[in-house]
Structure 1
Amino acid sequence: MTVEEFKLPDVGEGVAEGELVSWLVAPGDRVEEDQPVAEVETDKALVEVPSSYDGVVEKLFAEEGEMVPVGDVIISFRVDEEGDAEAAAADDAGTETAPEPDSADESAAEPVAEEADAEAADAEPDTPSGRTFAPPSARRLARELGVDVAAVDGSGPGGRVSESDVRAHAEGGAGSADASGDDDAPEPRPAPTPTDAGSGDRKVAVSKRNGDGATASAGSAAGGDTTLATPATRKAARERGVDVDDVPTDETRDGEAFVTAEAVDAYADALESAAEPTPDPEPVDVGAGTEPAVSDAADGSTAAGTTADASETEAPADGDETVPYRGVRRTIGKQMERSKYTAPHVTHHDTAEVDALVEAREELKPTAEARDVKLTYMPFVMKAIVAGLKEYPYLNSELREEDEEIVLKGEYNLGIAVATDAGLMVPVVENVDEKGLFELADEVNDLAARARERKLKPAEMKGGTFSITNFGAIGGEYATPIINYPETAILGLGAIEERPVVRERDGASEVVPAPTLPLSLSIDHRVVDGAVAARFANTVMEHLENPLLLLNQ
């Protein structure tokens, strides 16, 4: 058995970090490869993270609610090595290969490991420990690529072979071995050692295991680091220009050295004090009583104490509540900012008189219920929009500024904004022009339900060509919707209610109550003129006011 660490994978295009919402397993649980082990919320969606190993959960390295950068270790597994069975069968004494020792049993375990390694040497070529260590996923990849896993130089602890090592070998490289051929040669580090920074006898917070199970100091084996630190501490280290592996600490967690944000700050301050003073290329004159400017540089050049001063200045007042600005909420903010400050918005307002639409829906509801479909007004609106987009294709387009061209989309994929507890999500219904009212109703209901449960896949929120937002479901008449950039237009729907309208009757005008639907159409004025927007809205209203026209859509 060996202990394998599992890092948070790239769970979405362009995602750098995620919030670990919940663990689906606990230490001691047996898991299979591809079994979900955690739920992670990214700035795009809530996704399940599958295991890459068959084994038993050894330890969880992140707590629920923590922000974890992609590539950080989140969980470890006790994994059965394929070579263990062969080694045990070859062992005349019947001694099983011992797991890597933790502390006092280290010296007693070494002879057992050496004996097993010697007997397994005939089956596999020599490695630093006499055996080839590779997880099942790496071995499977090696078989797929036609690579002899025993010939791959492993970059992991004790020469363990990873999938990236297999790929590098298959591409003609030499794995991650050093060019000098010395696998144990440490990588040079630009930062001073903990001793240089006045660490005393404290340990660096890096636990590394060599092939013999011994714990090595920082930098002794490239690629074998297990840094015990929270994601927030890692972020603080990056901001101060410090390698978290080098930070000394007196604290421990489960017997291992553990780094805190305070230790990172103290270490960075010590490095700055120990460094020889160098002139600032652009010195800043700070007058008396003036706070020093906060630098955005990641090299730790900000004067000591600045971070503390900034945090004191920005501390919330008594009674205030702070809410993390991340995940879906941060994505919405960035997308809205990009859209508003990129596309010049113009909003066209109008109102459709929908007596006939209300009647048509009432007539179709029993048929829909018989098919177990909840029929709302949304499918009718979607069909009316497709009619307008076919007649005015510039509202179903995308402006590509770099190429200086407008792409008129040939598909009608409508995004439906859904309000959730985490913020607004916009699942996309594809090929609306090819689907009937009941089919659209069923698909919209399914997407909306899964959006509220945070079970949408990232792919289900991509590829939209036009969006709809139904603020009328909550209340309200008109709004100024922000375009779901890089789309060109978005239609906002108010509440269908009885409002006073002017009708001609017997040659005279009279004001009567009638169900009406307020419409708010926002357009990118670089692509769509106001007159075109008005004509598009007229076409949409014409189809809503005469539902029989929707039969042709």
Structure 2
Amino acid sequence: MSEEKKSPSIWEFKLPKMGESITEGTIINWLVNEGDEVEKDQIILEVATDKVDSEVPSPVRGTIKNILAEADSIVKVGEVIAKIEASEDQSDQPKEVSTKKPEAESKKSKPAKKKAALTSSSKPTSDAKTYTINKNQNTYISPLIQNIAIDYHISYEELARIPTTGHDGRLRKSDVFKYIEEGRPAQFAQPQTETNGFQVPDLKLEKGKGEIIEMDRMRQMIADHMVYSKHTSPHVTAYVEADLTDMVNWRNANKKAFQEKYGEKLTFTPLFVEAVAKAVKDFPMINVSVDGKNIIKKEEINIGMATALPSGNLIVPVVKNADQKDLKTIAKEVNALAEKARENKLKHEETSGSTFTISNVGTFGSLMGTPIINQPEVAILATGIIKKRAEVMEYEEGDKIEIRSMMYLSLSFDHRVVDGFLGGSFLRRVADYFEDFN
């Protein structure tokens, strides 16, 4: 931290640096009030950036003299946000700290995160039955809003019901916290989905009897994300077949030498990531997201790879700037991310920021798949199992039947912004890079 001592007892407490590219943050909540005594390294406030929420500790033991940045205010890194009157005794031995909350808490403090009270098992309030549902038209959800939703177990469907105050109907952090303070009145409300006047019927389907298994939190989030994606993006899936014989033969001939030279296993995933990154670079409009009526063309090419966790849930670790890395670097990152996934040690920054995703359904023996787009991306590639088949090969001297290693590729794309020509051309280019492997 870069707090600077301005007098023998008053410290100017500055907003610390939160990350390499972070220049500012939003004060979510002060956990102390003016006049409170604090210990060194005691958490005194929560700060949100566009990437993650952070808890910030006090640099000294003392008393909070002034709070200069209120909740919801945006402050620059290095800006003074509070003044602390430091105690004379700054030894590491902590004083006894009262766990009792201050009687007069700041009116602008955000609600405490009582996660247990916000799970799906909570009882609906009487207001939920009469709450009017107005689905938000702006479907863009920022990373910060997603993090808040995860903390409070708020689904994408519920987020879409929260009244918005942002520009062009965008959901703001303050909208979400206000909604939480009101008791989440739309949590249990059932929206009526209409298409040309047709209402989806509330069918009382027989679900059968058997063991009831409650979804874990990650499975609930995956389910919400998938439903949200299908509701948001009109999915179209295209297919091609690729001859991976050259790639398979090269890998079989070089994987041992590759591991001896670089100390990394050479699976097919790094080869796929490298080829897909090249194709994305050729077709940059596949590397976009939709923000209301705008298209955001991404500067970076970050390839996500759907990976199974030990629990059976899926997570998407990300190879950042894949188009700028060679095969050995991609292989190293892919292996490290896969290992962390198996050990449940992936960090938030390692699973965020993807601009295009690959799902290798062939790992499970599937011939092909129809993947669901990983929002807010606009396309996702599924790679099927590599299977040897007898194929007719055309040569100048005539046709021949040969044993070839074949694979089906399928691309699901968002038809709002990706038409058939772009989707089909991109998919064919990926297959060409697989086939022309050298």
Q: 1:149 aligns with which of 36, 41, 63?
A: 63
How much does 1:540 deviate? 1.3
**2: CA distance, partners of 1:543 / 1:297:** 51
Once superposed, what is the RMSD of the aligned Cα atoms? 4.4
**2: CA distance, partners of 1:149 / 1:220:** 14
Q: 1:428 aligns with which of 297, 313, 318?
A: 318
What is the total number of aligned residue pairs between the two structures? 294
Deviations 1:364-403 (A, max 9, x none): 2122211221101111211211221122111111121x2x
1:348 and 1:521 in contact (8 A); partners too: yes
In the TM superposition, structure 1's runs of 4+ consecutive aligned residues that sit over 4 Å from their partners are 138-148, 150-153, 170-173, 219-223, 232-241, 313-318
Q: 1:408 aligns with which of 292, 297, 300?
A: 297
> What TM-score comes out, normalization by structure 2 length?
0.57
Q: 1:391 aligns with which of 282, 287, 302?
A: 282
* Equivalent residue letter for 1:459: E
* Equivalent residue letter for 2:426: F
Match of 2:273? 382
How much does 1:362 deviate? 2.1
Q: Find the residue that maps to 1:375 and give its secondary structure.
A: coil
**Cα separation, partners in 2 of 1:137 and 1:500, compared to 1, 3 Å:** same
* Equivalent residue letter for 2:415: H
Match of 2:40? 136
* Equivalent residue letter for 2:390: P
Match of 1:6? none
**Cα separation, partners in 2 of 1:415 and 1:221, compared to 1, 3 Å:** same
**2: CA distance, partners of 1:149 / 1:489:** 53
How much does 1:238 deviate? 7.7
* Equivalent residue letter for 1:378: T
Match of 2:143? none
Match of 1:418? 307
> Aligned runs of 1:437-456 on 2, under 5 Å?
437-456=327-346
Match of 2:412? 522
> What TM-score comes out, normalization by structure 1 length?
0.46
**Cα separation, partners in 2 of 1:339 and 1:535, compared to 1, 3 Å:** same
Q: 2:379 aligns with which of 477, 489, 496?
A: 489
1:328 and 1:422 in contact (8 A); partners too: no
**2: CA distance, partners of 1:480 / 1:525:** 15
Q: Which structure 2 residue ranges, 5 or more long, are not aligned?
A: 1-28, 30-34, 46-55, 72-79, 84-95, 106-113, 127-183, 187-203
Match of 1:340? 230
* Equivalent residue letter for 1:546: D
* 1:231 maps onto 2:231 in alignment: no
How much does 1:235 deviate? 8.9
Match of 2:19? none
* Equivalent residue letter for 2:268: Y
* Equivalent residue letter for 2:301: Y
2:365 and 2:385 in contact (8 A); partners too: yes
**Cα separation, partners in 2 of 1:147 and 1:524, compared to 1, 3 Å:** same
2:368 and 2:385 in contact (8 A); partners too: no
How much does 1:487 deviate? 0.5
1:387 and 1:539 in contact (8 A); partners too: no
**2: CA distance, partners of 1:494 / 1:514:** 15
1:139 and 1:149 in contact (8 A); partners too: no
**Cα separation, partners in 2 of 1:369 and 1:172, compared to 1, 3 Å:** closer
Q: Find the residue that maps to 2:267 and give its secondary structure.
A: coil
Q: 1:470 aligns with which of 333, 338, 360?
A: 360
Q: Find the residue that maps to 1:485 and give its secondary structure.
A: coil
Deviations 1:319-341 (A, max 9, x none): x2222224111111111111111
**2: CA distance, partners of 1:428 / 1:524:** 21
**Cα separation, partners in 2 of 1:237 and 1:152, compared to 1, 3 Å:** farther
1:395 and 1:488 in contact (8 A); partners too: yes
**1: CA distance, partners of 2:255 / 2:378:** 33
**Cα separation, partners in 2 of 1:373 and 1:399, compared to 1, 3 Å:** same
* Equivalent residue letter for 1:149: T
Deviations 1:244-296 (A, max 9, x none): xxxxxxxxxxxxxxxxxxxxxxxxxxxxxxxxxxxxxxxxxxxxxxxxxxxx9
**Cα separation, partners in 2 of 1:145 and 1:350, compared to 1, 3 Å:** same
**2: CA distance, partners of 1:519 / 1:234:** 39
1:414 and 1:429 in contact (8 A); partners too: yes
**2: CA distance, partners of 1:423 / 1:458:** 16
* 1:545 maps onto 2:431 in alignment: no
- Which structure's relative contact order is higher, taking Cα pairs within 8 Å and 6+ residues apart? 2
* 1:330 maps onto 2:226 in alignment: no
Q: Which structure 1 residue ranges, 5 or more long, are not aligned?
A: 1-70, 72-126, 154-163, 165-169, 174-210, 224-228, 242-295, 299-312, 549-553
Q: Give percent identity, aligned residues only.
A: 32
**Cα separation, partners in 2 of 1:222 and 1:358, compared to 1, 3 Å:** same
**Cα separation, partners in 2 of 1:143 and 1:506, compared to 1, 3 Å:** closer
Structure whose CA Rg is larger: 1
**2: CA distance, partners of 1:134 / 1:172:** 13
* 1:513 maps onto 2:411 in alignment: no
* Equivalent residue letter for 2:250: A
